[in-house]
Amino acid sequence: MQKININQLEKILYHVEKPGRYVGGEHNQILKDWDSTHTHVCLVFPDIYDIGQPNLGLAILYDIVNQQPDILAERAFAPWHDLEAQLRENKIPLFSLESKHPLAEFDIIGLSLPYESLYTNALNVLDLAGIPLLASERGEDHPLIIAGGQACFNPEPMADFIDAFVIGEGEEVTLELIRAFEELKESGADRKALLLGLSKLPGVYVPSLYHINYAQNGTISGFTPSEPGVPAIVTKRIVSQLPPHPTRLIVPNIETVHDRLSIEIMRGCTRGCRFCHAGVVNRPVRERSAAEILQIIEDGLSSTGYEEIGLLSLSSSDHTQVLELTRSVYDKFHDRKVFVSLPSLRIASFSVELMDELRDLRPGGGFTLAPEAASPRMQAIINKPLDNEVFEETVRTVFEHGWLTLKLYYMIGLPGETMKDVQAILDAGKRVLAIGRQLRGNRVKVHLSVGNFIPKPHTPFQWYPLNSTDELQAKLDLLKTGIRRTGLKLSYNIPDNTLLEAWLSRGDRRLGHVIQRAWQLGAKFDAWGENNNVPIWRQAFFETGLDPDFYAYRERALDEILPWVHIHTGVTKAFLQRDLEWSKQGKTRKDCREQCYACGILDSFGKVRPVSPLVYWGCP
């Protein structure tokens, strides 16, 4: 096994931009003794340090694993192009930040896959580590490669490369998996037996233990375990109560995105927007109490010295104690020179009041609201109804309370959308700008940020085709022409940039060949829009004989076996289908805290629901 030559590495670091990305040594880094710890785990976020280090999921797992005295967890990230070239030229394998051990020396590598555009980076990381890309080509001496994260609710496109996926929340299953790994290894299990053993853990999916058959038309005709005892359906893991939040967070030495004390105040969302992947896969809603959050802030600030706090959730104004929380945050911390951001607020005057409670604790800048759709018809289709009076009242409150910039998020390409619905986005923007100018004059800025809808697995819209590039372009053209001389600002995504996510998010196992070929042809950092790797991906599809349109533009039949058929989020197919039907009828659903629509979550997880009323679950 090749060791990293530290002198050689340091010499290379002189020649790269931002060497601080690769050296670790941050405050709160945990550096354990390699030889006196039994099991070595490397947590890998396959994007550059600047993007990956702030990831809260990584921080949570780093904390949980390192709390075990006999296990060591270190970190690694994807190197930027400059270091990658140096590593390849000097034949230095990719290494961990803490002890600079080559990744191949670890027992387990845990890959974080929160979104699809990291897939080629994940392959690149394995390659730089000298680990065979294909799970089938790895032997007894190679690390076990596990992956988890929100993208893994459809694990199939990455199935060829990953030994075992963790489906759902990792706080409990990660340690169970490591301990099971240790026991199986000690009992002398070979790799095959190890994987078979791990497949029996709830929430662990071992893709090599399944047979898939395809029909003539390319759809899946059968998905079955190939060994006895392997579960046909893998149900996601959840924690019944949000575990203690890490507070001894690593403080990066170089500037990163979201360089702040991030605190998850709530998990899940009860609103049921039909396009929303996170809203389905993170059910049920679980909260931390205001008192607990205040203590986390106190401890987190002492241990990190951060000057900014981010209170994170999918829908912060829905936290049952959010008003009390914002008031107490101001009272307790206003003299500590901290900024507090509270993103993901609902469109209601109440949200403006919340931000007002934080007064001088909020970072300067604008207010953001996300109507997502502008016409009442589209709002009903996506189940995000918005009364126009409420919208205008909220907007008025925003401007009256001192904000001069308002950013509005919308989507185009939604199911059933017409040009009239797109025009409604422009009309809404103009109305908002008129209100702002009436109240605050010409200093007011209104910014329309328009994203392209991508159908996601496990949502009521999972059967819909993606809008074609031509359709999206026509809608964008309408917007681009329409904002001229209005004073509105428009930002949007190039239609082609949505293709990769569309192909991969609902892809099947055959896409493994495409991912590998695209990586060989040079695709990486696919999330970085300026790379425009779409032509490379088209080439990869062509060479592997697969049709990209089959994945992006095809409407799936309701009885089709979808590639994620074996992954159960707790929400039933019957519920999704009913919700799709309601969407077609323009029928909306209430917030599910008010009324249960029997999505299936309580059938799957009701048993683990805490009996104590002090532990909040959003379900009635």
Tally the C-alpha atoms within 13 A of residue 6's C-alpha that lie toward its C-beta: 7
Shortest separation between residue 410's beta carbon and other proteins, angstroms? 31
User: What is the footprint of other proteins within residues 359-418 (CB under 8 A)?
Assistant: 364
Minimum CB distance to other proteins, residue 576 (Å): 46
Please name which of 466, 426, 431 lies closest in space to residue 448, comparing C-alpha atoms: 426
Q: What is the DSSP string of 185-229?
A: HHTT--HHHHHHHHTTSTTEE-GGGEEEEE-TTSSEEEEEESSTT
For other proteins, which stretch binds (CB under 8 A), given 15-23, 38-46, 506-514, 587-595? 15-23
Please work out, in degrees rounded to the nearest 5, the angle formed at the alpha carbon of residue 529 by the alpha carbons of 524 and 533. 45
Q: Which is nearer to other proteins, 365 or 535 (CB)?
A: 365
**Near other proteins by CB under 8 A, which window of 18-26, 77-85, 205-213, 439-447?**
18-26
Site string for other proteins, 280-309 (x = CB under 8 A): ---------------------xxxxxxx--
Q: Which stretch binds other proteins (CB under 8 A): 22-30, 176-184, 366-374, 430-438?
A: 22-30
Nearer to other proteins, 50 or 287 (CB): 50
CA distance 24 to 110: 18
85 binds other proteins (CB under 8 A): no
Residue 26 binds to other proteins (criterion: CB under 8 A): yes
Give the whole-angstrom CA distance, residue 275 versus residue 415. Answer: 9
Work out whether strand 144-148 and strand 164-166 pair parallel, antiparallel, or are unpaired.
parallel
Instruction: Tell me how far apart the terminal alpha carbons of the chain are, to the nearest angstrom.
Output: 56
Which of 24, 371, 457, 460 is in the footprint of other proteins by CB under 8 A? 24
Q: What are the two backbone dihedrals, phi and then psi, of residue 452, each rounded to the nearest 5 degrees?
A: -100, 130
Shortest CB 291 distance to other proteins, Å: 22
For residue 259 the two structure tokens come to 């360089």
Cα–Cα distances (Å) from 354 to 285, 310, 324, 493, in that order, read 21, 14, 9, 31
Please state, in angstroms and rounded to a whole number, the distance separating the CA atoms of residues 51 and 54: 7
Find the binder of other proteins among 337, 484, 485, 607 (CB under 8 A): 337
Classify 487 in phi/psi space as left (phi over 0), alpha (psi -120 to 50) or beta: left
Residue 216 burial (C-beta neighbours within 10 Å; 0-12, 13-18, 19+): exposed
What does the angle CA 311 – CA 109 – CA 47 come to, to the nearest 5 degrees? 50
Q: Are 106 and 73 in contact (CB under 8 A)?
A: no
List the one residue from 3, 5, 27, 418 that touches other proteins (CB under 8 A): 27
CB of 401 vs other proteins, minimal distance in Å: 17
Rounded to whole angstroms, how far apart are CA atoms 230 and 211?
A: 12
Q: Do strands 39-45 and 108-112 pair parallel, antiparallel, or not at all (unpaired)?
A: parallel
Largest CA distance in the chain: 76
- Which C-beta is closer to other proteins: that of 213 or that of 302? 302
If binding is defined by CB under 8 A, does position 255 make contact with other proteins? Answer: yes
Q: Which is nearer to other proteins, 248 or 568 (CB)?
A: 248
Least distance from other proteins to the Cβ atom of residue 364, Å: 7
Kindly tell me which of 25 and 343 has the beta carbon lying closer to other proteins.
25
User: How many residues in the shown chain lie near other proteins by CB under 8 A?
Assistant: 26
> Which one of 10-18, 51-59, 138-146, 387-395 is the stretch in contact with other proteins (CB under 8 A)?
10-18
Cα(376)–Cα(77) distance, rounded to whole angstroms? 44
- Taking CB under 8 A as the criterion, the residue among 15, 81, 359, 587 binding other proteins is 15
Closer residue to other proteins, CB minimum distance, 23 or 439: 23
Q: Among 4, 20, 324, 431, indicate the residue that binds other proteins (CB under 8 A).
A: 20
Q: Minimum distance between the CB of residue 21 and other proteins, rounded to whole angstroms?
A: 9
Contact between 385 and 348 under an 8 Å Cβ cutoff? The reply is no
User: Cα–Cα–Cα angle for 166, 169, 173, nearest 5°?
Assistant: 60
List beta partners, residue 309.
261, 340
Nearest partner of 163 among 198, 213, 119, 190, judged by Cα: 198
- Nearer to other proteins by Cβ, of 23 and 527: the residue is 23
Give the shortest CB-382-to-other proteins separation in angstroms: 39
How far apart are CB 293 and other proteins at their closest, in Å?
20
Place of tokens 């203690």: 244
13 binds other proteins (CB under 8 A): yes
Q: Is the Cβ of residue 15 or residue 420 nearer to other proteins in the bound state?
A: 15
Of 2, 3, 5, 11, the one binding other proteins by CB under 8 A? 11
Selected from 85, 230, 254, 602, the binder of other proteins by CB under 8 A is 254
* Residue nearer to other proteins on the CB measure, 95 or 519: 95
CA-to-CA dists, residue 530 to 320, 386, 409, 496, 533, angstroms: 41, 35, 22, 12, 9
The encoded tokens of residue 311 equal 């209170």
Question: Measured from the CB atom, is 252 or 487 closer to other proteins?
Answer: 252
Which residue, 120 or 262, is less far from other proteins as judged by CB? Answer: 262
Beta carbon of residue 441, minimum distance to other proteins (angstroms, whole number): 21
Applying CB under 8 A, which of residues 2, 3, 5, 25 lies at the interface with other proteins? 25
Q: Which residues bind other proteins (CB under 8 A)?
A: 10-11, 13-15, 19-20, 22-27, 251, 253-255, 301-307, 337, 364
